[in-house]
Amino acid sequence: MSLRTRRERWLRFLLALVVLIVVIAYLRRFHLTRSPPPEEGAESQAGEIPLHSGQREPVLPPPPVERPPEHKFSPNGLLEVNPQASHPILELIRRAEDGWRAKLRRASKTFPQAVAEYRRRYKRDPPKGFDDWWFYVQRHSVQLPDEYDQIHADLEPFWGINPQDLLAIRAELEAKVDSYTIGKIGDSGQVKVVNTSFAPGKYEQLIKGSVQIIDLLSDVEEFLPSFRAVFSPHDGPNRASLSDFFVEDAARKAAAGGNYVRRKDFPKIIPKGWLSACAPGSPGRNDSMNLDGDPPLKPGGKTFIHDHNLAMDPCVHPRHFWQHGHFLSYGKGPTPEREMVPEFSYCSSHVHHNIRIPTPYGWVEDILPRSHDPEWDDKVDERALWRGSNTGIGQSTRTRWRNSHRTTLMRVANELKGAISILSPYKSDKERIGEPIEVRKSRLNPGIMDVAFAGDPLMCDPETCKLLQKMFPWRRRQSVQEAGDYKYVIDVDGNGWSGRFKRLITSNSLVFKSTIYPEWYIDRIAPWVHYIPIQLDLSDLHDALVFFRGDASGVGAHEDLARKIAVEGRVWSKTFWRREDLAAYFLRLMLEYARLMSEDRDAMSYKGDP
């Protein structure tokens, strides 16, 4: 063998050896990063992976996923602000939009779905005539056919009471001042006033409300069963409740096939005024509270509404008893009704058991002419507007009118002395909101508010009327065209619910609404999607307004969101608050009521196969 041949073989051997070393190194590295699972019966310690060599190497845990800071959504309906999170209104809007879209998606599309959903929610069959109601709903494109929980909430406390007793209570009610009774006698009869009971000289004034109600019911007259219903002619509710816990328990027993409660067995009243309406254990049933004294202190920290219905409840928020004219007018509160009185009214609160109706009062199809309500971008005044009378409570030296809701609005919107703490409007959407900043009222209020009483003082004695004129600004009443120039409008209660909300939400303006009265549409609207909910004490009004319109110079505004909600509010009004929507609610309410007042409720239930 030549020397050259031996050298070539030696080089090939060295090359093969190098390749082998490289392959072994690669395979070892592969096994270190992807070791096979342990053999059956083998155990490995936490945080280690067994290697083929028998050695163990620690495995680093994955880095923790940081959750962004969140605000606290309390069970009382309020959001508590976390300074480490972004602006709370951004989160409130996102959650509200998600909830509204989900509600629209899950709405029943067919009659069998509607029947099944009714039985699932209320644990009983629908009322007789439910198929006729569905026919009307489909014919008139009524949206959200499942969302009538307010009817259930209003009528459910009556379900545990013997129907014979309810009929007797209603007959007695028809003879009491002030009331009128609307009825339909026989299935082929006409809806009309069948009885009135007014003080002398009051007939013409108090019967007016019945005209619009009968006109609305005439739209569904052919589907209505025979009924008699007693209505209160007044703006506010008048049936103060005894705590619901007793009647709700009775209703549950009746639904389970137990015996009804007879009126003679209702509990003896221990008068506690407004507190009597609050269930034991609730914040509003605190016997140490003195409604003639100072209100309980409000917890510190910024809050906003995330559940408007809960935020209206004085049993959850007892400070309301010191902040609304309806409560302040009665001092510690009236003696509650010992019996449940089936009386209808324009509005009701969480401490009354009046049955609310879809009131046609104040209803408008649109703002006409349309030129009186410019598009959002064409509105020239960026202040928040409110004009109204000094109603809500009788104002005299003997009443606590200074803390009533409309007086509070006038004060917080027009004060110039001192400073107010607000969340900074100058942070980006990704920055933490931080602690509130101090702003002079003399700079902020004139720039963002146009709030004044309109006309002349009323509901006040001469001395107090003069005082009111000195305390607050008074201006002439505005036309609809003048009001249409404002991008932002405020809505608060009067002697009862606000009859102007329909007109305001039909406009192209953004509505800030403060109320204690859940209305008939409460399940069919989304705060933060269609309007801005404001607490009764107005502690969040400046924060919400500054978030949308910016400071007095407009800096920090989220006007794109303001425009979006204003437009969505108008679309909602034109889609969900039509005359047909009022009629559909009224029809379903009267079907439920006719069954409730029947001595054979089972016979008044829908038993058909959907």
Q: Which long-range contacts (CB under 8 A, 24 or more apart) does 497-500 make?
A: 497/235, 497/236, 497/346, 497/347, 497/359, 499/359, 499/361, 499/362, 500/362
Letter string b/e over residues 153-165, b meaning 16 or more CB atoms within 10 A of that residue's CB: bbbbbbbbbbbeb
Helix (H, G, I), strand (E, B) or coil at 479: coil
DSSP string, 172-219: HHHTSSSEEEEEE-STT---EEEEEE--TT-HHHHSHHHHHHHHHHGG
Q: Nearest CA to 496 among 470, 516, 520?
A: 516
Would you state the pLDDT for residue 300?
86
CA distance 169 to 247: 16
Would you state the pLDDT for residue 267?
78
Contact 508, 566 (CB under 8 A): yes
Would you state the pLDDT for residue 187?
78
How far, in whole angstroms, is CA 117 from its chain's centroid? Answer: 22
Would you state the pLDDT for residue 47?
43
> Other CB atoms closer than 10 Å to residue 465's CB: what's the count?
16
Helix (H, G, I), strand (E, B) or coil at 118: helix
pLDDT averaged per 10 residues in sequence order, the chain, 610 residues: 57 63 55 45 43 57 75 98 97 98 98 97 97 98 98 94 95 94 91 96 95 98 97 95 67 70 82 89 89 87 97 97 96 88 97 96 95 97 98 96 97 98 93 97 98 97 97 96 97 96 98 98 98 98 98 96 98 98 98 97 88
Question: CA 231, 357, 227: angle at the middle one, nearest 5?
Answer: 55
Cis peptide before 200 (omega within 30 of 0): no
CA distance 575 to 322: 37
Would you state the pLDDT for residue 17?
66
pTM of the model: 0.88
Sorted by sequence, the CB contacts under 8 Å of residue 572 that are 6+ apart come out as 505, 525, 529, 530
Would you state the pLDDT for residue 25?
58
Would you state the pLDDT for residue 389?
97
Would you state the pLDDT for residue 337?
87
Helix (H, G, I), strand (E, B) or coil at 402: helix
pLDDT, tens digit, 9 for 90 and up, residues 54-102:
555 666 777 766 677 999 999 999 999 999 999 999 999 999 999 999 9
Where are the chain's structural domains?
72-102+362-577
Would you state the pLDDT for residue 89?
98
5: enclosing H helix or E strand? helix 3-33
